[in-house]
Amino acid sequence: DLKFILLLRFKRKILRVEILLFNLSQVSNTFIFLTKRVGGRLLRRKGKKKGREMGGAQAMKRIPRIKFPQRHPKPSGSESRIQAEPLAGDASHTFFSGSKASTTTTLGGKASLQPERTPVSKEEIEAILLGGCI
């Protein structure tokens, strides 16, 4: 019979573990098993509460799941009604109502659903470079 006494450091404490082996073939398997189970059931001490007798990986605090906001929130029914009924004195709505882009496609989405860009003429480019007025 082989008797090993191991002193293991775990959570800033030194633990004494006694192992009794019956033959030499069990030595390597036992040490591999011990290295995997440090802080687990083999190293339990008397007087510990049940909740603290977890393995080393389970004893670590769980990292909370990160919840990212939705990129394109779905409009609710009340918001769509507000956008559909503009105020009579709303000048910005009357100015942008003639544009081809709808409110759903300008917020974002696939490029195929976006309105096509109108090409800028050379005269417009020259006017912008000269002073910004057309």
Write the pLDDT tens digit of every residue in 26-52: 555 555 555 555 555 544 444 444 444
Amino acid at 64: P
The count of residues in the chain is 134
* pLDDT grade for 21, boundaries at 50, 70 and 90: low
Please identify which residue in the block is written with the tokens 């779905």. Answer: 74
Four-point Cα dihedral 72, 76, 78, 84, nearest 10 = 50
Rounded to a whole number, what is the distance in angstroms from the first to the last CA of the chain? 99
pLDDT tens, 81-133? 545 555 555 555 555 555 554 554 456 667 777 788 888 888 888 888 888 65
Judge whether 68 and 78 are in contact, CB under 8 Å.
Answer: no
Closest by Cα among 14, 13, 26 to 4: 26
How is the chain split into domains, by residue range? 2-46
This prediction's pTM: 0.18
